[in-house]
Amino acid sequence: MRPTVHDIAETAGVSLATVDRVLNRRPGVKAATRERVEAAIRKIGFVRDMAAANLAKGRTYPLVFVVPRGDNSFMEGLKAEIEAAIARAPQERTEIAIRDVPRFDGPLLAAALDRLAADPPAGVAVVAVDHPAVHAAIGRLKEAGVAIVTLVSDLPGPARDHFAGVDNLAAGRTAGSLMGRFLGGRGGSVAVVAGSMLVGDHRDRLEGFRARLGELNPALDILPVMEGRDDPDQVHALVADCLAREAGLAGIYSLGAGNRGLIRALGQRPDAAAKPVAIAHELTPHTRAGLQSGLLDAILNQDAGHEVRSAIRVLKAHADGIPVIAAQERIRIDIFLKDNLP
C-alpha cells in the first residue's frame, strides 16, 4: 500500500494538522518539527498526489492562450479548439482566457506576455515568435512562477517548459520525401512559400525539406524562399509571379498558411502550362477543396485539438509539480492525399 498522511503523522509523532501545514507550506510549525515531518516523508517514501489534493480543495487553474490574429484558417481552427476547452472548463477545473496579438510581431507579442505578469496565471500557452523581446518576456514570466508551453511554433533554448506541436523538422523532411517521390527524376526548380522566417516551425520545415529533397534529387533547384506573411493575397501575388517567371517550375511547397492564394494562383495558370507538384500544410476547407480538384497533391496536417488539450494537460501538470507523460503529448503528422481524405 502507498504511504498516507496518517503514516507520516505516526512516523513523525505529530498530528495530522501539523502534517497538513508542512505539506501545504503553511506557517505555524516549528523548524525542528518541520524537519521531523520532512524526514518522515523521506523515510516512508510518501509521494503526494497533487492532482487529487487540488481536486479535493476545488482548485482551478487559470491559463492563458496567446495566439496570432489574422485571416488564417488553421489559427481560426486553433482558436475554435481553445473555445471548446473553455466550454469544458468547469469539468476540467480550468479558467482559460484567449489573448490575440498581431502575427509575426515579436515586440507586440512580448508586450502581451509582459501584461500577463501583472496578475500571473498558472500557465501560458503561446504561439511563439523567435525574437529577443519574446525570450526576455518569457523569462520574466518564468521568474514569476508561470509555466510556459509553446504552441505550434517553438523557440530554441530552454526558455519554455514544453512544446505542443509536431516535429517540424520531420514535417519538412516528409514534405521533401513526398516532393521527391512525386517528381521522380524530373528536373527543374521548386518554389517555397513561407509565412515568415521569424517563426521556428517555418524555419524547421524549410531546413528539413531542403535536406531531404536534396538527398532524393540533388539536380532540382530550390528557389529562394518567398515570405507571404500567411496572407492569401500576398501568397497569390507571389505564386502567380513565380508561375509566370519560372518556365521550368516543377514543384511548390507551401510550408505556412495563406493557401487560398496558392490554390487561386494554380487555378489561374494557362491551360497549356504543366501543373507543378504542390504540397501544403493543414487540412482546412480550402486545402481540402484543393486536393479534391487536383490543384494540390498532398497535405501535411497537425491536430489542433490535440495540441490544445496537450497544452492544458502539461500546464496543469507543471502547476501540480507532477511529470508529463511524453507519449501522451506526442503530436503526430498526418499525410492526406485526395484518396484518403477523412
What is the structure's pLDDT at 93?
Answer: 86
Quote the pLDDT of residue 5: 84
* Partners of residue 67 on adjacent β-strands: 100
Residue at 145: amino acid letter: G
What DSSP line would sit under 149-212, residue for residue?
EEESS--SSSSSSEEES--HHHHHHHHHHHHHHHHTT--SEEEEEES-TTSHHHHHHHHHHHHH
pLDDT digits (tens, 9 = 90+) for 46-60: 876 655 555 545 568
Q: Please check whether residues 294 and 308 belong to one and the same domain.
A: no
Instruction: Indicate the SS3 state at residue 130.
Output: coil
| CB within 8 Å of 325: residues ≥ 6 apart | none
Same domain, 172 and 297: yes
Contact 161/135 with Cβ under 8 angstroms?
no
- Give the pLDDT confidence score for residue 102 in this predicted structure: 96
Structure confidence at residue 311 (pLDDT): 97
Question: Is residue 338 domain-resident?
Answer: no
| CATH number of the domain encompassing residue 39 | 1.10.260.40
Structural domain of residue 30, as residue ranges?
Answer: 5-48
Specify the residue for cell string 487555378.
267
Task: Tell me, yes or no, whether 190 lies in a domain.
Answer: yes
Shared domain check, 198 and 182 = yes
Greatest mean pLDDT range, 28-32, 80-84, 266-270? 80-84
Task: With beta carbons less than 8 A apart as the criterion, state whether 68 and 104 touch.
Answer: yes
Whether residue 186 is found in the same domain as residue 266: yes
Banded model confidence at residue 289, pLDDT cuts 50, 70, 90: very high
Instruction: Check the CA dihedral 256-261-263-267 and report its sign.
Output: negative
pLDDT reading at 242 higher than 90: yes
pLDDT value of position 4: 86
- Whether 342 is in a domain gets the answer no
Mean pLDDT of 268-290: 92
pLDDT tens digits for 187-223? 999 999 999 999 999 999 999 999 999 999 999 999 9
Tell me: do 139 and 31 sit in the same domain: no
Question: Are residues 245 and 178 both part of a single domain?
Answer: yes
In a shared domain, residues 120 and 26:
no
Q: What 3-state DSSP class applies to 97? A: strand
- How far apart are the C-alpha atoms of 35 and 29, rounded to whole Å? 10
pTM equals: 0.82
pLDDT tens profile 83-114: 999 999 888 889 999 999 999 999 999 999 99
265 in the same domain as 252: yes
313 and 290 in a common domain? no
Q: Give the span between the Cα atoms of 253 and 166, in whole angstroms.
A: 18
Residue 284 resides in a domain? yes
- Structure confidence at residue 329 (pLDDT): 94
In Å, what is the CA distance from 311 to each residue of 36, 37, 76, 148, 254? Answer: 38, 35, 17, 9, 26
Q: Is residue 292 part of a domain?
A: yes
CATH of the domain at 96: 3.40.50.2300
The reply to whether 256 and 325 lie within a common domain is no
Measured in residues, the chain has a length of 342
Average pLDDT, the chain: 92
Average pLDDT over residues 241-257: 96
pLDDT at residue 320, as a whole number: 79
Residue 334 lies in a domain: no
Same domain, yes or no, for 183 and 251? yes
Q: How far apart are CA 141 and CA 228, in angstroms?
A: 31
Considering its fold, how many domains does the chain have in total?
3
Please state, for a pLDDT cut of 90, what percent of the chain lies above it. Answer: 75
Identify the pLDDT of residue 52.
56
- Under 8 Å CB-to-CB from 203, ≥6 apart: which residues? 130, 197
pLDDT digits (tens, 9 = 90+) for 117-149: 889 999 999 999 999 999 999 999 998 889 999
42 and 83: one domain?
Answer: no
Q: With respect to residue 111, please indicate whether it lies within any of the assigned structural domains.
A: yes
What pLDDT score does 272 carry?
A: 63
> Looking at the domain assignment, is residue 54 inside a domain?
no
